[in-house]
Amino acid sequence: MFDLDKLVKQIEESEKKSTNEDFWKDNFKATNFLKALTFKKNLLEKYTTLNNLSKEIIEICEISIELNDENDLPNIIQNFETLQSLHSEISIQLKLNGKFDSRNAIIGIKQGAGGIDAQDWSEILVRMYKRWSERKGFKLDVLHLSTGDEAGIKSIVMKIEGNFAYGLLQSEKGAHRLVRISPFDTGQRRHTSFSLVEIMPELEKEEEIVIDPKDLRIDVFKAGGAGGQSVQKNSTAVRITHIPTNIKVSVQNERSQLHNRELAMKILQSRIMELEIIKNRQKEAEIKGEHISADFGSQIRSYVMHPYKLVKDHRTNVEYSNIDDVLDGNIDSFIESYLISKIK
């Protein structure tokens, strides 16, 4: 239940605290404190707009009924659509209250079953998330890329910088299924391909997990280009395996082995943290009598191009027939529906 008075009081107390002389003594805590304050102010601003717009719609409706005048109907409809949009945004913001929800996101995409079609499908998903990031005004950087033997990609790791990138993209975690006529099949047969999407929060330096060096196996190798061709003579690529969890991270983008190793460790820590987040959610679900699957490969969404066109989210049952629009980055309806469905 949304408590407006409580929110206003929290903002007032936070603003007062931010003026204390020792506020910036701990820069990390101060920065995150101000992020939380900005989030609360933004929420209050939207709620105030929502409340004022609701009153305006009621007033216009009452006047129109009294005068038996339908001229204001288009204006009422437009305001009501804005009202619905604001309500959706507020509902989502109320859900994005997890410890890491406001952070940047580390997103990994790996080919699943389907051979060359799966590699091509992984590259299509990369473009979808790039376009989504552009629509949001977020910054996207490629941290690791392993290209396919003939087309597409085998795996990729990217960082998406933007407010609540991790919180929003949690909805994308799982297996994405594509059904289409394969452009690589001379017989023009329908193929089903899978790609696995992983979402992890980017950790601040102060939050980095201490990992025992004995729990790591580190391999170095030559960075490879398309078709397996070596792009560097020296062994600069790094693969780190966390033995207790069997989590593997490979990075080959930087020319320096040291930089690749540092980046691989950062991604490894994010993956271990994400594993802990999932375990905590499972414990909470057990207390509530719910069930949460820990299977990263659980199928979450299907993209069908043949014999009909449809994108369907299997968790919320949201469907969209304009698959080209979805693959061009318009995935907000799926993200919003997933987050709203999680609000208890």
pLDDT at 292: 44
Q: Is the dihedral of CA 269, 271, 275, 280 positive or negative?
A: positive
Q: What are phi and psi of 223, to 5 degrees?
A: -65, 135
pLDDT at 37: 85
pLDDT at 82: 86
| Residue 142 reports pLDDT greater than 50 | yes
The per-residue pLDDT for range 244-298, each reduced to its tens digit, is: 988 888 887 767 788 888 888 888 888 888 888 777 766 655 544 544 444 444 6
4-95 and 105-341 agree in CATH topology: no
pLDDT at 320: 94
pLDDT at 290: 46
- For the domain spanning 4-95, the CATH number is 1.20.58
Q: Find the helix or strand (DSSP H, E) in which 195 lies.
A: strand 190-201
| Residue 231 reports pLDDT greater than 50 | no
pLDDT at 224: 62
**DSSP string covering 179-190, please?**
EEE-TT-TT--E
pLDDT at 206: 58
The whole-angstrom separation of Cα 160 and Cα 23 is 29
CB 2 within 8 A of CB 94: yes
Please give the share of the chain, as a percent, with pLDDT higher than 70: 88
pTM of the model: 0.73
- Class (C level, CATH) for 105-341: alpha beta
The whole-angstrom separation of Cα 3 and Cα 314 is 33
Domain ranges (residues) in the chain: 4-95, 105-341
The per-residue pLDDT for range 14-32, each reduced to its tens digit, is: 999 988 888 888 887 787 7
CB 8 within 8 A of CB 37: no
Overall size of the chain counted in residues: 344
pLDDT at 286: 53
pLDDT at 256: 78
pLDDT at 66: 82
The burial of 9, by beta-carbon neighbours within 10 Å (0-12 exposed, 13-18 middle, 19 or more buried), is given as exposed
Cβ-proximal residues to 96 (8 Å cutoff; 6+ apart), any chain? 102, 164, 167, 168, 339
Average pLDDT across the chain, whole number: 84
What are the CB-based long-range contacts (under 8 Å, 24+) for 114-118? 114/178, 114/191, 114/192, 114/193, 114/194, 115/193, 116/148, 116/149, 116/150, 116/151, 116/152, 116/184, 117/178, 117/182, 117/184, 117/191, 117/193, 118/152, 118/193, 118/194, 118/195
The per-residue pLDDT for range 36-82, each reduced to its tens digit, is: 888 888 888 988 998 898 988 888 888 888 888 788 788 888 888 88
Average pLDDT over residues 109-131: 94
pLDDT at 302: 95
Which is more confident, 66 or 172? Answer: 172
- How far CA 63 is from CA of 25, 50, 56, 201, in Å, comes to 57, 20, 11, 51
Question: For the ranges 68-77, 131-140, 307-316, which has the lowest average pLDDT?
Answer: 68-77
| Residue 177 reports pLDDT greater than 70 | yes
